[in-house]
Amino acid sequence: MTCARRPLSFIDSDCLAAFINAGKSKKLQVAIGQSKINGLSLNYESASLQSPMAIIGSSGYLEIAVNCGSARRYLGAVKGDAVHLILSN
């Protein structure tokens, strides 16, 4: 199933990899507003329907999305909202 998706950040895959490698961490959380997303999804099919996810999209940037839904509605997020990357062990 293909669903519309819209990126909410401009964090590219190189920046994300450098951030993760610098912290030598095994766990990543992506926070936007009051919501936290655990880890990165490999593809849209790996996330449950109507669930928030973080993914490196085909353009090479971190995308915050809701599988077959609207991140804007689900998270109350809009373009330009701060996205926080949190590393932990």
Domain boundary assignment for the chain: 13-88
The whole model's pTM is what? Answer: 0.72
CATH number 2.60.120.260 is the correct assignment for the domain at 13-88: no
Count CA atoms closer than 13 A to 16's CA, side-chain side: 22
pLDDT digits (tens, 9 = 90+) for 36-83: 999 888 888 888 999 999 988 888 888 889 989 998 899 988 777 888
